[in-house]
Chain A
């Protein structure tokens, strides 16, 4: 079903520090409007589709949303780590 590939979907390369940005991303992460919530909704809704193509599309979009949610989970510590490093000059 699902597999893990050892790379970030999009590269992370922090050039300018922005702790506010990290805060925004974290705030968007969870809850009813977050990506994981959306993904599970699509996953559940595909069963109600009469049109097979749409059901397949929902499945693939849901998979993509999960991948993006997990990407954020991986990337946020890098944003914070990079930002904190630059703010406090460790």
Chain B
């Protein structure tokens, strides 16, 4: 996952995120399914790793991840709707 371009890294996050959403719906009605739980854990692991790397390299994806410093960069970084493909 090192040195991935921003778009590629974001795609990893988007995929893992969606996988988590999907299996969450299944787990809601099948709470004891070990295979689904493993799938969820795996997707979460991938997402966490990619998320951490994205945040460290390109900036916060959630307002909670804004680094404690003298400058609030949350609103000044590019927004997804500005066509920056983020």
Could you say which residues of chain B place their CB within 8 Å of the CB of A81? 83
For A, the interface residue count at a CB cutoff of 8 angstroms equals 24
B74-86 vs A, CB cutoff 8 Å, 1 = contact: the mask equals: 0001011101011
CA distance in complex: A43, B79 (Å): 28
| In-complex Cβ contact of A60 among B18, B24, B80, B83 (8 A) | B24
Q: What range describes how many residues of B lie at the interface?
A: 20 to 34
Which of B13, B21, B63 is in CB contact (< 8 Å) with A7?
Answer: B13
Q: Given A4-B62, A11-B11, A74-B81, 17 more contacts at CB 8 Å? A: A3-B62, A3-B64, A6-B62, A6-B80, A7-B14, A7-B86, A8-B14, A8-B80, A11-B10, A12-B85, A57-B29, A60-B28, A64-B21, A64-B25, A74-B80, A78-B81, A82-B83
